[in-house]
Amino acid sequence: MIKVDRLTKKFPEVTALREVSLEIPEGEFFGLLGPNGAGKTTLMSLLVGYLDADDGQISIDGEVVRRDKLDLRKHIGFVPQSLALYDEMSALQNLEMFGKLFGIPSRELHKRIEEKLDSAGLFERRKDKVKTFSGGMKRRLNIIASMLHDPGILLCDEPTVGVDPQSRNAIFEFLERLNKQGKTIVYTTHYMEEAERLCSRIGIIDHGTIIALGSVDELLSRLPYDETISIMKNPSTRECLPVFQSFGTLTEEDDHYELKPSDGFALSNFFAKVESSGLKYQWIELHRPTLEALFLQLTGRRLRD
Ligand SMILES: Nc1ncnc2c1ncn2[C@@H]1O[C@H](COP(=O)(O)OP(=O)(O)OP(=O)(O)O)[C@@H](O)[C@H]1O
Ligand SMILES: [Mg+2]
C-alpha cells in the first residue's frame, strides 16, 4: 500500500504539490490525470525517492520514503517521461547496462532480459540499435529497462507520448498484463481516454492539488447529467418522434433533437427500436459524460490546451 499524506513540494518559483493525500492499495492500476505543469512528474519523483518533500510524507507498506533510503527503491520501477535509452546501443546492450546498475547477477540478469524482451514483443529485435526502433518500441523498452529488478510497483510517467495509436495499444496491453500479474501501477497522463480505459481509480490533479479522486464511475457520477443522445433532424426522424419520446424527454434544438433518457433506459432496447423503425444509425449520436467534462466543470478549463 502506498500512502501519500499531506505532501507538499515547493520549488523556488512554484508550489508543485500542495497537501496531496491519497492511498493506492497493492495491485491497483491508479491513474494520475492532469494538464501540463499539474505536478504529476513531481509526485512520481517523490514516490521513487528522487526528491524530498517540504512537508507531509509518503510511505510504502509502512516504510517512509526518503531520498537517503535507497533500499526502498528495490520495490519501485520508475519509467521516466523522457526516454532513458542509448540510441547507438542495441536493446540488449541497453538492458545489460540497466541491469548492472541495479546490481543483478549476470546469469539471473540474462534470464530476466530474455523474459522481458519476450513479454514486450521485442525479442526478435534485441540486437538492433535502439535508433532503428519505432516510438512505441522505444517506449516498451523504456518500461522493461525500468523493471529488471522485478519491482512490485511500477510508476509510468506519460509512457505513450509520441506513440502512434496502434503502438499505444500494445503498451496498454503490456501494462494491463503486468497489472494482472499483480503489479501495482501508477500511471500519469493528460489523456482522459487513457485513464478511463486503464485505471481502476483516478486522481485528477491540477496546480499541485488533487481535485477529484475515485473510480471512473464515481467521478462521472459527479457530473449533473448522464448520457444524452442527439438525433439528426430530417423527415424520417421527425416521423419517429413518438418512438424517441417513449425513451425519455426530447427537446428540439436548431439542427437536431436531444434525448435525455429516463430511468431504466437500456441502450440495446433503444437501438432495437431504432432499427425496427427503419432509422439509420448514422443519424443518432451517443454522448457519454467524460472525465474531460468533469475537469471542465471543476476548473473551467480543458485538460489539453
Ligand atoms: N526541478 C524543478 N525546478 C523548478 N521547478 C520545477 C521543477 N520541476 C517541476 N517544476 C515546476 O513544478 C510544476 C509541476 O511540474 P511537473 O513537471 O510536476 O508537472 P507535470 O504535471 O508532470 O507536467 P507535464 O504534463 O508537462 O509533464 C511546474 O510549474 C514546473 O515548472
Ligand atoms: Mg510530467
CA angle centred on 150, ends 147 and 102, rounded to 5°? 65
Q: How far is the CA of 200 from the centre of ligand 1 (A)?
A: 25
Q: How far is the CA of 16 from the centre of ligand 1 (A)?
A: 7
Counting from 1 in the atom list of ligand 1, the atom nearest the Cα of 81 is 27
H or E element, residue 97? helix 91-101
Whether ligand 1 lies within 6 angstroms of the CB of 11 is answered as yes
Whether ligand 1 lies within 6 angstroms of the CB of 162 is answered as no
Counting from 1 in the atom list of ligand 1, the atom nearest the Cα of 35 is 25
Whether ligand 1 lies within 6 angstroms of the CB of 14 is answered as yes
CA pair distance 219, 203, nearest whole angstrom? 9
CA pair distance 72, 70, nearest whole angstrom? 5
Q: What is the pLDDT of residue 10?
A: 97
Q: At what angle do helices 106-119 and 135-145 cross, to 10 degrees?
A: 140
**Per-residue confidence in pLDDT tens, the chain, 305 aa:** 999 999 999 999 999 999 999 999 999 999 999 999 999 999 999 999 999 999 999 999 999 998 888 888 889 999 998 888 999 999 999 999 999 888 889 999 999 999 999 988 999 999 999 999 988 899 999 999 999 999 999 999 999 887 888 888 888 998 999 999 999 999 999 888 889 889 999 999 999 999 999 998 888 888 776 778 999 999 999 999 999 999 999 999 888 999 988 887 888 888 889 888 888 888 999 887 888 888 888 888 877 65
Burial group, residue 282, by CB count within 10 angstroms (0-12, 13-18, 19+): exposed
Closest protein CA for atom 9 of ligand 1: 42
| Beta pairing class for 55-60 and 201-206 | unpaired
